[in-house]
Amino acid sequence: MSKCVLITGAATGFGRGVAWELSARGYQVIAGCQIWPQVWELRNAARQDGLEMQVMKLDVLNEIDRRNALALEIDVLFNNAGIMESGPIVEIPMTVFRSVFETNVFAALELAQGFARNMVKRGGGRIVWTSSVAGLVKVPFDGAYAASKHAVEGICSAMHEELKPYGVEVVTINPGAYRTGFNDTGMESMDQWWHQGERVVQHWPVRELNRQHDPAEMIQAIVEVIAAQKPAYRTVRPASAMEMVKQEQLEIWTREA
């Protein structure tokens, strides 16, 4: 019997790529999409590619959708849905900042809690969280997103130790910059509110997103984490980002105000 994997945020990006690859490998995939048009599009695309997967509406902020998801019996939760909102910490509206935590932290945690309880009762299971390189280093002008991923790191670290005695595995994947469109729209997001008030610091300097990597590398790494008998606790890609993270974490000890 193939393993059953629930993927949140499966309509685009890493979630979609992982859903496709796991389905092709014979996994039972349940692909969660935020809105109904995404459900329709994903079902048709999978059918055209000859893939069998269950596609469901799963807006992680919607209590009804979460309850429907938590009624499922799964082996692996890929906690992947997330949003990015940019802007200087002193300028970003609190409603925007809170929205990032509602999706990336609180809603994800509610799903993880619910499935973890079921996994503890069964004596096994795996929860894979999409964290980020931004959860491990400083990210000026993207502090809200980075803060949410630092929170994810803290949650996962605790859950890993708390659930290990019960046979439930908690691991993270930490992508750097990949060409999924996520970073592009995330950087653009602050333009929605920047002009609506008086600002005391400068707008995010123009950054060319011309050094993003092929997402196929990250998708493959995530698939291997889900499929592995004993995956590493943390998977950072690309390799250059992993070295950057280690170097910056060392430098923090000598950083000055």
pLDDT tens-place values along the chain, 257 residues long:
479 999 999 999 999 999 999 999 999 999 999 999 999 999 999 999 999 999 999 999 999 999 999 999 999 999 999 999 999 999 999 999 999 999 999 999 999 999 999 999 999 999 999 999 999 999 999 999 999 999 999 999 999 999 999 999 999 999 999 999 999 999 999 999 999 999 999 998 877 788 899 999 999 999 999 999 999 999 999 999 999 999 999 998 998 88
Axis-axis angle for helices 215-227, 13-24 (nearest 10): 50
CATH label of the domain that carries residue 130: 3.40.50.720
Q: What local confidence, expressed as pLDDT, does residue 210 receive?
A: 81
Contact in structure between 39 and 57 (CB atoms under 8 Å): yes
Q: Which of 145, 166, 178, 233 is catalytic?
A: 145
At a CB cut-off of 8 Å and minimum separation 6, what does 72 contact?
Answer: 4, 6, 30
- Active site (annotated) includes residue 145: yes
Structural domain harbouring 13: 4-254
The pTM assigned to this predicted structure is 0.95
What one-letter code names the amino acid at 55? Answer: V
User: What's the structural domain count of the chain?
Assistant: 1
Q: Angle at the Cα of 37 (from 113 to 55), degrees rounded to 5?
A: 50
- Nearest-CA neighbor of 57 among 45, 43, 44, 47? 43
pLDDT of residue 256: 87
